[in-house]
A and B are shown apart, each in its own frame.
Chain A
């Protein structure tokens, strides 16, 4: 089997991993070395599905001792198997890197023999890269659940970011679909990595040149739609992971049916991309906008509104918060206005120091007035001639297609009935608008 065949098999097996970011650390090569990293991350290409390609994302091997039902590489699946030797992989990486195809390596693996043996193979490949090729670029490695903590520590010294995939958002789902894994076997390495990062950060203060352990932090990934877990559960878990485990990112991946199994959605199920999209929007609100999971969803509203993004949905439920005076409101409040993002909120704060802002100024600062105008005032006034009716507001908050779908699923009932939009998220029609789906496939930095 030549390198072409191996690359094809092992890329194909790795592509369902979502994370491909190269962010979180700034560094440059030492003398005689090659490679650097930028904290913002750099995308080197975008694949046909619109996802960023930043790292060479491959498996060490797709041979696997486990039999997780949702996974293409499960033991019982009849698929061609291959393994890179550590040296082959190192050579491929460095040659891609020299040509500026990639920012580094994302190395994951099936479980060959046992978790420890697999991790040793990964360590050897990374050792060749770091020591023999003196490679200083970005490396993201997967911690295999069940690996000895000594090996994880070794792996962590060679990588910039590590991740342990949660995959299924609850213990019961895990038991059902991934019998070889348990909540404990996933959270234990995560906790271990977090502790090591913490220890290391104090070492680095004491000894300036102390080697760094996973400097870009750790991340994880969850599959959406393979199990009956609700958005509320997933979002709460996400928030917990950010707070308790200090994760840098939580990734979501809409379940692509890859296996026929009575416990899983059937093979012709379309992936719940809109749900994934809403979860990412909420994830952003948690990380950059100062929202908490409980503000966005609660016990009685366990699913996201399919027609409105979580921020607009929150705003419509909290009209007492608005209208907001753009020239006075603090930064943290500006962030809560639909149509104002992190960048435009920062610009507003800067620009209003030297001038009183009017509506046409806001346009220059990048505010989406179409949405924002219903929630703000400039100099005590709302936009000239603005009529606030339910229909108008909805129109501005949804794309045309979504609005069409919305009217279809609520055929001319009494106008008051439309309020149900704010109460219970209705069922999703099967052909949910492509326009919105397109936005969900972005892989943010």
Chain B
């Protein structure tokens, strides 16, 4: 085996592209030290090797994964690809190489560093997508539900099923600002499409009053004698607050409290 210390792959950023890197690694009997995206700035000492995406190669790799290590492993690396883990591409390649050697037992090798790193990343992804299923806040503009999120991981594919089952007869849009993508749905079909930016109109009267009702409910449901901001923060980190109705805008019905203003100052 050829283990060049300066070997870098450059792929097109697609899942198929990554599978072609795996193909290349086996074809040339080499293991890269890094796999980079096309727009990564060239501060590297060594030139990267372009890996062309070839559907024939990638589908061979794709078909071999469930065969050699089971559907769980395929599902697992597909999710790993959505995570925000650094060097996730390299870890996926190393994971697959391990998988081809060990077969199905790869999913149980939790103490292996490669496997462990990916498991943690996938757990982060699953947690974030679970939390966002609750924290997403829709506003209704001319009978379309619109929401914005800023997740660390690319969670939209994992949220599609949940929201399609929740609102089968509605039209909705969830805009992922981090990745510039949006999940759009109209009765019985959904798609994830790239979107540059999203500007929301002013809420109409009905929308505004339901927002205020929700804020009123949120403020009232707290038992003052058990106030515990730290506990809230550990369950609902502040980075999610930005788009949540209960923290947005001044409350009309109840005057602004000092501790409330503090919430708005911290993003």
Contact = CB atoms under 8 A, between A and B. Distances in A.
**Chain B residues touching A, majority SS:** helix
Interface string B222-259: 11111111111011100000001110000001000000
Given A98-B167, A101-B245, A355-B109, A48 B232 contact: yes
A32 interface: yes
Contacts of B100: none
B170 interface: yes
A437 B225 CA distance: 13
Determine which residue in B136, B145, B222 has the highest number of CB atoms from chain A within 10 A of its CB, and name it. Answer: B222
Interface stretch (B59-67, B80-88, B212-220): B212-220
Give the size range of B's interface with the partner.
35 or more
A351 interface: yes
Contacts of A101: 137, 214, 245
B140 A99 contact: yes
B33 interface: no
Interface stretch (A38-46, A297-305, A334-342): A38-46
Interface stretch (A1-9, A200-208, A385-393, A414-422): A1-9
Contacts of A137: 166
A292 to B, nearest CB: 30
A137 to B, nearest CB: 8
A36 B134 contact: no
A271 interface: yes
A438 interface: yes
A57 B166 CA distance: 20
A442 B228 CA distance: 10
A354 B109 CA distance: 6
A103 B224 CA distance: 24
A43 B131 CA distance: 7
Determine which residue in B145, B162, B231 has the highest number of CB atoms from chain A within 10 A of its CB, and name it. Answer: B231
A15 B218 CA distance: 11
Contacts of A96: 210, 213-214, 217
Given A11-B220, A364-B111, A49 B210 contact: no
Interface of B: 102, 105, 108-112, 116, 130-131, 133-140, 145, 147, 162, 165-170, 210, 212-214, 216-218, 220-232, 234-236, 244-246, 253
Interface of A: 3-4, 7-8, 11-12, 14-16, 28-29, 31-36, 38, 40, 42-54, 56-57, 92, 95-96, 98-101, 103, 137, 256, 271, 273, 347, 350-351, 353-355, 357, 361, 364-365, 437-439, 441-442
Given A7-B213, A96-B213, A364-B110, 10 more contacts: A28-B166, A44-B134, A47-B222, A49-B224, A50-B234, A56-B217, A57-B221, A256-B226, A354-B109, A441-B228
18 contacts: A34-B167, A38-B162, A45-B246, A46-B236, A48-B222, A48-B229, A49-B226, A49-B227, A50-B228, A50-B230, A96-B213, A98-B170, A99-B140, A99-B145, A100-B134, A137-B166, A350-B108, A355-B109
Those 9 A-B pairs whose CB atoms lie nearest each other, nearest first: A50-B231, A28-B165, A361-B111, A49-B226, A351-B110, A48-B222, A47-B222, A50-B228, A44-B134
